[in-house]
Chain A
């Protein structure tokens, strides 16, 4: 298949000596959406943050195991974390636009990766905002503060911001859980659009959302992957009792 995916092998994460993720092995295909579901505290965010080495920023957090992109293990100390993070974008639950203009929010990443010409930056800004379905709403006020946007618009801005550095993979941690239903629908639509180009891994607590947007679903429980299969199978024909208990709402 074309494009770039990612695979984790025996990935374990612990905070101090408390394990949060235990020997997780998962393959993520390119141009597909994979949903991570599971009860609160089961290590979904921790796992996701390991994939772009954001856990490096947490002092006592240790990540062991391998993460392969093409033929490179990015979880090795030799990896250039800064250029890795360009290749793997991330979107959080709470939109976190910089206290700058809409334009500057998008141009922030590319500018550091060597794009200096105004014309090129303009193009990147337009292209990224268009892909994030935000261009029409913001093209007349690109130089206004990003903080004046609504929550849903801010979240799409954050998605546009991560697209602007041309990643292969986008990680999303509950990207719609702080948004109203209309904004949520827009984000979901956007995800379906973006998967034509990117490998997307999304954490969600919304079963319907997982079912709507993803091709594959992994069910996490207590730091382990209980079940990993096509979304369709997980929701209609789960192999494990825990999975079916969780998706039918019996616990979690």
Chain B
């Protein structure tokens, strides 16, 4: 009896196994193909600037003038690269201390209030569309900067400020998780030796969770680096390296979104934009590698 049951059931099970295997395999295959096609597409387009149009790579990376319609056409992307790095790193510098303090407050100082009110609010921040951030930046931050500092109010400072609020949830959430995952015994051990709360936070909590905190910061920078819309709305979009934080500037993303519609597919100007996209993509890879490296270290 039981034998016949087994034999009857064995077949459907085996079939199920195979269906499952094939199904998951196909999904993975689809994913991998998509990723590779995107990388290949961006790379081939981006590289054709150098291969087909014979623009010098060094000239593109270090050139200060971006004149795609000029005579001769110039493709110096350094102002954009500078803009992207300065806004995102500045944004991280603003958001990291804030995010970390918020996390310490939520985990160490007032867990009840933090969990109940602060965490949902911060998660809400993450859900706000970037156009809203840009709009708020344009109508609040830019006029404020215009009144207080010399210049038009637009520029790196406004961009960085908007970005810092956008990446705050990322940094805070990762820092909160890291702090909450800290073994309870470590803090008790420190208190039992007669350390104060701040000594414990500064000498035990911070160093032990540092790799995770860094992960949060790098992810924040990566997000800021790739953000286009909000930055474009407040940065001014002048294609040169600004002399102050309150002078119009551009980023890689804002340059691409602004000019993509105005260039013909396959033209030199279009290819040059793809080169910018390639730089963005490569930088993202670098960020991912840094995060990987840090995560490996935080396991201890």
Interface residues of A (CB under 8 A from B): 52, 54, 57, 82-86, 89-90, 92, 94, 96-100, 108-109, 112-113, 147, 158, 161-162, 165
* Contact partners of B195 in chain A: CB under 8 A: 82, 108-109, 112
Check B194 against A158 for contact (C-beta < 8 Å): no
Residue of B nearest to A165 (CB): B193
In Å, the complex CA distance between A90 and B196 comes to 16
Given A108-B190, A112-B193, 7 more contacts at CB 8 Å? A96-B186, A99-B186, A109-B193, A109-B195, A112-B195, A147-B300, A161-B193
- A selection of 29 A-B contacts at a CB cut-off of 8 Å is A52-B192, A54-B191, A54-B192, A57-B188, A82-B195, A83-B194, A84-B194, A85-B193, A86-B194, A89-B192, A90-B188, A92-B188, A96-B183, A96-B185, A97-B189, A98-B204, A99-B186, A99-B208, A99-B300, A108-B190, A108-B195, A109-B193, A112-B194, A112-B195, A147-B300, A161-B189, A161-B193, A162-B192, A165-B194
* Contact partners of B186 in chain A: CB under 8 A: 96, 98-99
Query: Smallest distance from the beta carbon of B184 to chain A beta carbons, Å?
Result: 9
Q: Which of A86, A108, A147 has most B Cβ within 10 Å?
A: A108
Query: Smallest distance from the beta carbon of B167 to chain A beta carbons, Å?
Result: 27
Check B185 against A82 for contact (C-beta < 8 Å): no
Tell me the number of A-to-B contacts counted with CB atoms below 8 Å. Answer: 61
Question: Which of B192, B207, B300 contacts A90 (CB under 8 A)?
Answer: B192
Check B189 against A92 for contact (C-beta < 8 Å): yes
Question: Which of B185, B192, B207, B300 contacts A94 (CB under 8 A)?
Answer: B185
Query: Smallest distance from the beta carbon of A104 to chain B beta carbons, Å?
Result: 10
* Contact partners of B292 in chain A: CB under 8 A: none
In the complex with contacts A99-B208, A147-B300, A82-B196 CB distance below 8 A: yes
Residue of B nearest to A97 (CB): B189
* Contact partners of B203 in chain A: CB under 8 A: 108
* Contact partners of B207 in chain A: CB under 8 A: 99-100
Residue of B nearest to A109 (CB): B193
In Å, the complex CA distance between A90 and B189 comes to 8
* Contact partners of A158 in chain B: CB under 8 A: 189
Q: Which of B183, B192, B193 has most A Cβ within 10 Å?
A: B192
In Å, the complex CA distance between A96 and B187 comes to 9
* Contact partners of A82 in chain B: CB under 8 A: 194-196
